[in-house]
Structure 1
Amino acid sequence: MSDPMRPRASLRTAVVWDVLKDALDRRVKATGRESLDVLDTGGGSGNFAVPVAGLGHRVTVVDPSPNALFALERRAAEAGVADRVRGVQGDVSGLFDVVERDGYDAVLCHGVLEYVDDPAEGVRNAVGALRSSGVLSLLAAGLGGAVLARALAGHFKEARQALGDPAGRWGDGDPVPRRFSAEQLTQLVGSAGVEVGAVHGVRIFADLVPGVLVDTEPSALQELLKLEAAAAELPAFHSVATQLHVLGEKQGTPEV
């Protein structure tokens, strides 16, 4: 299967996709099975689910939106992976109403914690769906990136408000209900019984670089992607990333 990430969209997804693909490959080797069972909570129309299925894995997507699940079905069919993708209406808060516990080799929880009433419960449920030594991929909005973006746009009062707000919101018009620091996310994951393997900053530069610089220079996009990848694991840049990605493994006895 060709690279699932379209060139412009890859600025938002490339770092996470590369890390996730490597983690799934390692899980395949650890289990001795070529095909894994993967759960994508809040997976929407399949931005990650369809490419993961393209690797040969079975993917269950749980999402509250019927329209997103319809788009997922169409997208999976167009990619030729409809037999490996299943959409289920639900959310992470009521996850075990629609999927089984301890049933998955990997769980994706991308863009979910920002919107749930209880992030700790959301993480616990995501981890509860994992088999022993399963992989958790968690992606959430970063506080520092929002503060920096508001400041660079000249909205200094909003930047200061986000910096001091418990939820990281810059005002009533903020479309994101909650943002996190890297420390908050790793604490949530660790408390749920997951050993953190790596933390990555996502969209460190991509949201700050004017689009014209990328669109008019043929090599600029690839160079920006390389820069994002080079800075992703450096803790110094986590505090200014638009999103934060945490990769971890559920603690427990490995499968035989």
Structure 2
Amino acid sequence: MPRTTPHDPLPRASLRAAVVWEALEDALARHGAVGRAAGKADGTAAGEAGADAAAGGTPAGRALDVLDTGGGTGGFAVPAALLGHRVTVVDPSPNALFGLQRRAAEAGVDDRVRGVQGDIHALFDVAEPGAYDAVLCHGVLEYVDDPAAGLANAVAALRPGGLLSVLAAGLGGAVLARALAGHFASAHRALTGGDGRWGEADPVPRRFTPEELTRLVAAAGVDVRAVQGVRTFSDLVPDGLAESEPGALEALLALERAAAESPAFQPVAAQLHVLGGRK
């Protein structure tokens, strides 16, 4: 069965999100299938199937309630809705939420995507605790004042056993990128400074090693099931080189997929992706 990708055809920006989306798509399908199997066991599957069909649900499993914190213009929310899931996006930017509405409408899923203005520290001003099958916390923890508190809110929004997807900036990728660009002093600052920042002009307040992010997620009451390194090569390869011949982007994606699962390359990835379930 062909995958649903965040953007099609695959441009360079989409390649950078493809590995995360593929892992998330599979995890949502497994979670939905588990829910449908549970429904069959207690005799509710027929009702769930009818409700999912009416909502445009996915035949692979029941339609899930998904919360996307910091979801912006819907790079992951809209593809999730295209799979039949119901997605609520919480983001502090009105402009991003406007872009979300436009993207959802263009994709024909505006009835399954809802955008609300807010942030993860005040999450329950706009979202219900314990009400979601899956929560996405992508590009959030590196910017918030208290990552542990923000992550605790994300986990509290989940139903028991719910799926958590965390995507955050990786320390090693930033160090490598600065060094390869000839900025050796700032690479050293990022490596040894304790917060992963390469200098005062760095727009990212903090970065994580795989061990740091995994510990943070586990401490929030999540059973960590998978860790990936993301954008290991795609941020470093010049655009012209990646697009110089037919099939080059697809080959780069295959390399990214392989590196994402390799513990040897995860420490030097630009981003780290952790999947787990609420205990």
Residue 5 of structure 2: aligned partner: 3
After TM superposition, list the pairs within 5 Å mapping 1:47-62 onto structure 2: 47-62=75-90
2:77 is aligned with 1:75: no
Residue 189 of structure 1 aligns with an amino acid whose one-letter code is V
1:180: how far off?
A: 0.5
| SS of 1:175 mapped into structure 2 | coil
Residue 16 of structure 2: aligned partner: 12
Residue 57 of structure 2: aligned partner: none
CA distance in 2: counterparts of 1:3 and 1:119, whole angstroms:
29
Residue 31 of structure 1 aligns with an amino acid whose one-letter code is G
Q: Deviations over 1:6-58 (max 9, x none)?
A: 41222210110000000000011111152100000000000000000000000
Residue 31 of structure 1: aligned partner: 35
Residue 157 of structure 1: aligned partner: 185
1:216: how far off?
A: 1.8
Q: Deviations over 1:58-111 (max 9, x none)?
A: 000000001110110111000000000000100001101110111000000000
CA distance in 1: counterparts of 2:196 and 2:245, whole angstroms:
35
CA distance in 1: counterparts of 2:263 and 2:204, whole angstroms:
24
CA contact (8 A) 1:5 1:13 kept: no
CA distance in 1: counterparts of 2:112 and 2:206, whole angstroms:
33
- Give the TM-score normalised by the residue count of structure 1: 0.96
Residue 44 of structure 2: aligned partner: none
CA distance in 2: counterparts of 1:91 and 1:68, whole angstroms:
13
1:4: how far off?
A: 2.9
Residue 195 of structure 1: aligned partner: 223
Larger CA deviation: 120-129 vs 2-11:
2-11
CA contact (8 A) 1:159 1:170 kept: yes
CA distance in 1: counterparts of 2:82 and 2:117, whole angstroms:
22
- Give the TM-score normalised by the residue count of structure 2: 0.88
Residue 255 of structure 2: aligned partner: 227
Residue 168 of structure 2: aligned partner: 140
CA contact (8 A) 1:39 1:59 kept: yes
2:70 is aligned with 1:42: yes
Larger CA deviation: 107-116 vs 213-222:
213-222
After TM superposition, list the pairs within 5 Å mapping 1:74-113 onto structure 2: 74-113=102-141
Show structure 1 runs of 4+ deviating over 2 A. 1-6
1:2: how far off?
A: 5.5
Residue 22 of structure 1: aligned partner: 26
Residue 223 of structure 2 aligns with an amino acid whose one-letter code is E
Residue 254 of structure 1: aligned partner: none
The Cα RMSD (Å) is 1.0
Residue 6 of structure 2 aligns with an amino acid whose one-letter code is P
CA distance in 2: counterparts of 1:5 and 1:186, whole angstroms:
29
Residue 18 of structure 2 aligns with an amino acid whose one-letter code is A
CA distance in 2: counterparts of 1:147 and 1:2, whole angstroms:
33
Residue 56 of structure 1 aligns with an amino acid whose one-letter code is G
| SS of 1:45 mapped into structure 2 | coil
Residue 35 of structure 1 aligns with an amino acid whose one-letter code is A
CA contact (8 A) 2:232 2:269 kept: yes
| SS of 1:56 mapped into structure 2 | coil
Identity %: 68
Residue 17 of structure 2 aligns with an amino acid whose one-letter code is T
Residue 216 of structure 1: aligned partner: 244
In structure 2, which of residues 233, 250, 271 is the aligned counterpart of residue 243 of structure 1? 271
CA distance in 1: counterparts of 2:4 and 2:97, whole angstroms:
23
Residue 5 of structure 1 aligns with an amino acid whose one-letter code is H
Q: Deviations over 1:137-189 (max 9, x none)?
A: 00000000000000000000000000011210000111111101111111111
1:3: how far off?
A: 3.3
Q: How many residues align?
A: 251
Residue 15 of structure 1 aligns with an amino acid whose one-letter code is V
Residue 7 of structure 2 aligns with an amino acid whose one-letter code is M
